[in-house]
């Protein structure tokens, strides 16, 4: 093996100035990641320290194996919510069983992603269409936000993935809200929104974390009923093999597959933005391997599932991150926090971590996409709305399954009832166009020219036959020929070939000629293998629609071309 081929392209020309940029970016992201990682771990129903464990070795592993230079990997809101959904069905939050299941889930996600990368299965994410992902993400953002109400209000609200249940319970407990907790949460959110709006270079999460801890120490807010994170163990995590239970793994597999796909979709979407901006190529399958290895590393070092996040990646890029060295520096920064700063986290209010989550997920509600689809594609808008409502009403796992199922139904429906066009000749030309779009085009009397815009297979055979029958019934002249423009037919299966044979036979009995024009190479190969080319005859396989009409009535066509 050529060792030079393993050398990352970003190492070429790496300089002291590049390292300086990476150092600033890496340190900036570390400052942002420490409070976020703790907050997202809390969202996942895990101790805050688990979020920090997921932000050291996994970040290093992705930096070494991934193909993006700016992607910042670590805990994110969506994966945290999915973790809580899957693990919460098996164990109670805060128990050793819950933590063990969350770590096993990270291992499963990692193994699935690595397998997908090795076997080049990145195309599987195509089943998560953008409207489905947008509807799912928007609904999940609302569920994430509402799940933090108990920390914002300072009252116990049972965990649920159904919005209406959370809202009803929160409304019932609203009179019991803890004033100090609500004040801290509101001030934290106001500060975060203000920093986001007016001071993008200021690390908002760190600002509210430090300010709240100083307030707790100076004003004794812990003695006034404000819930705090409490003692956080210091030190780096030691590697250990996750406990394995085949029954639990089987129960976790559906959510592991969901996380593997959703996390990769989120990550690759973000990575593409920065790859295009900085003009380098991404490898989707290498991304899968890098993310998978990061998740396996997270499981081995006591963390939970991770992926690339947009906000931290954007900060990494804005702060000057040029290469994966920035992520390596981020990991070192989090490690320093684990070694020396964890005693301070005991004074961190849960309400502040909840505020960080709430502000982070506001941007996940994709109102802009709804507006865009309203003007461009109502079918995709329907898919978005169906997924959104199903996720809110039925739950996280069921919502994304409904969305994928709906998109598959639309996919099947569009291919069983594809677009077609009745063709007419543009005056004075040899060009045939859709009569619906070109009113000046002229149909040839007694000839039905039809363009079929899809692969011709068993699923749309009946649709073509019904369409031909309906169009013939609308003709004013007796049918004498059918010209199928096959320019848009990329494939022909045996069922379709059999249907064409039957159609040709029925037309022949009525003295109607069936011609197949513009057939591509793959279609002609099927015609030849099935013997349908001989059955139709070479004279009925013209290269163009014009040639078909010329063979039907050459004198009339030539006269039409010369007429004004």
User: In whole angstroms, what is the distance from residue 456 CA to residue 532 CA?
Assistant: 15
Tokens for 98? 């819950």
Least reliable range by pLDDT among 309-318, 445-454, 457-466: 309-318
pLDDT at 5: 46
| Alpha-helix runs per DSSP H in 306-395 | 310-318, 325-340, 350-362, 367-376, 378-394
pLDDT at position 550 over 90: no
Contact 467, 420 (CB under 8 A): yes
Could you tell me what percent of the chain has a pLDDT over 70?
A: 96
User: In whole angstroms, what is the distance from residue 406 CA to residue 384 CA?
Assistant: 10
8-state DSSP, 442: B
Least reliable range by pLDDT among 57-71, 264-278, 311-325, 542-556: 542-556
pLDDT at position 340 over 90: yes
Residue carrying the six token digits 């489905």: 132
Q: What's the rounded mean pLDDT across residues 186-210?
A: 86
Distances (CA, A) of 29 to 59, 208, 332, 345, 454: 12, 16, 11, 18, 48
Contact 400, 132 (CB under 8 A): yes
Contact 42, 348 (CB under 8 A): no
Contact 489, 452 (CB under 8 A): yes
* Of the candidates 554, 529, 526, 525, the residue with the CA atom closest to the CA atom of residue 539: 554
β-bridge mates for residue 307, sequence order: 74
pLDDT of 3-44, one tens digit each? 444 567 777 778 888 999 999 889 989 988 999 999 999 999
Contact 333, 30 (CB under 8 A): yes
Strands 513-517 and 481-485: parallel
Contact 300, 290 (CB under 8 A): no
Strands 420-425 and 432-434: antiparallel
Average pLDDT taken over every residue of the chain: 89
Distances (CA, A) of 511 to 168, 440, 469, 480, 527: 72, 30, 16, 7, 22
pLDDT at position 146 over 80: yes
DSSP string, 235-264: SPPPP-PPP--HHHHHHHHHHHHHHHHHHH
Rg (CA), the chain: 31
Domain 420-562 has CATH 3.30.750.24: yes
Distances (CA, A) of 451 to 193, 432, 484, 517: 55, 10, 6, 9
pTM over 0.85: no
pLDDT at position 116 over 90: yes
pLDDT at position 555 over 90: no
User: In whole angstroms, what is the distance from residue 2 CA to residue 380 CA?
Assistant: 47
Domain edges within the chain: 16-409, 420-562
pLDDT at position 2 over 80: no
């Amino acid at each position: 093996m050529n060792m030079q081929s393993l050398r990352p392209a970003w190492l070429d020309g790496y300089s002291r100035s590049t390292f300086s940029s990476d150092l600033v970016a890496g340190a900036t992201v570390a400052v942002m990641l420490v409070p976020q990682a703790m907050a997202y771990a809390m969202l996942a129903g895990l101790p805050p320290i688990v979020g920090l464990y997921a932000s050291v070795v996994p970040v290093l592993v992705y930096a070494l194996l991934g193909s993006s230079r700016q992607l910042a990997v670590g805990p994110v809101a969506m994966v945290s919510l999915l973790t809580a959904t899957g693990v919460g069905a098996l164990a109670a939050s805060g128990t050793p069983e819950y933590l063990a299941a969350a770590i096993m889930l990270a291992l499963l996600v990692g193994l699935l992603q690595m397998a997908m990368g090795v076997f080049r299965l990145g195309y599987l994410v195509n089943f998560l269409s953008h409207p489905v992902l947008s509807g799912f993400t928007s609904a999940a953002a609302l569920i994430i936000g509402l799940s933090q109400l108990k920390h914002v209000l300072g009252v116990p609200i049972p965990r649920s993935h159904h919005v209406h249940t959370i809202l009803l319970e929160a409304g019932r407990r609203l009179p019991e809200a803890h004033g100090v907790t609500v004040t801290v949460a509101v001030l934290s959110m106001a500060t975060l929104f203000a920093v986001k709006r007016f001071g993008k270079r200021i690390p908002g999460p760190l600002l509210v974390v430090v300010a709240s801890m100083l307030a707790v120490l100076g004003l004794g807010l812990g003695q006034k009923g404000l819930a705090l994170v409490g003692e956080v163990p210091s030190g780096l995590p030691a590697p250990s093999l996750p406990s394995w239970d085949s029954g639990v793994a089987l129960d976790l597999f559906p959510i592991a597959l969901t996380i593997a796909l959703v996390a990769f979709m989120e990550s690759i979407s973000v990575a593409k933005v920065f790859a295009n901006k900085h003009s380098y190529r991404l490898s989707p399958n290498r991304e899968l391997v890098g993310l998978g290895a990061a998740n396996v590393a997270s499981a081995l070092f006591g963390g939970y599932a991770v992926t690339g996040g947009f906000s931290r990646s954007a900060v990494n890029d804005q702060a000057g991150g040029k290469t994966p060295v920035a992520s390596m520096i981020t990991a070192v920064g989090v490690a320093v926090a684990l070694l020396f700063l964890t005693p301070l986290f005991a004074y961190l209010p849960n309400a502040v971590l909840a505020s960080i989550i709430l502000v982070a997920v506001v941007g996940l509600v994709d109102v802009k996409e709804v507006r865009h689809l309203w003007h461009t594609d109502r079918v995709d808008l329907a898919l978005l709305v169906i997924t959104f409502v199903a996720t809110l009403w039925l739950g996280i796992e069921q919502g994304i399954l409904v969305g994928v199922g709906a998109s598959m139904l639309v996919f099947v429906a569009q291919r069983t009832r594809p677009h077609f066009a009745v063709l007419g000749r543009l005056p004075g030309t040899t060009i045939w166009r859709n009569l619906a779009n070109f009113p000046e085009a002229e149909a040839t009397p007694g000839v039905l020219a039809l363009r079929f815009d899809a692969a011709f297979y068993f699923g749309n055979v009946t649709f073509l036959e019904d369409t031909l029958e309906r169009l013939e019934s609308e003709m004013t002249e007796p049918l004498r020929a059918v010209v199928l423009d096959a320019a848009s037919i990329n494939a022909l299966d045996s069922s379709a070939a059999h249907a064409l044979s039957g159609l040709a036979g029925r037309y022949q009995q009525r003295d109607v000629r069936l011609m197949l024009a513009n057939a591509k190479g793959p279609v002609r190969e099927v015609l030849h293998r099935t013997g349908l080319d001989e059955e139709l005859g070479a004279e009925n396989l013209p290269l163009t629609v014009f040639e078909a009409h010329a063979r039907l009535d050459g004198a009339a066509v030539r006269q039409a071309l010369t007429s004004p």
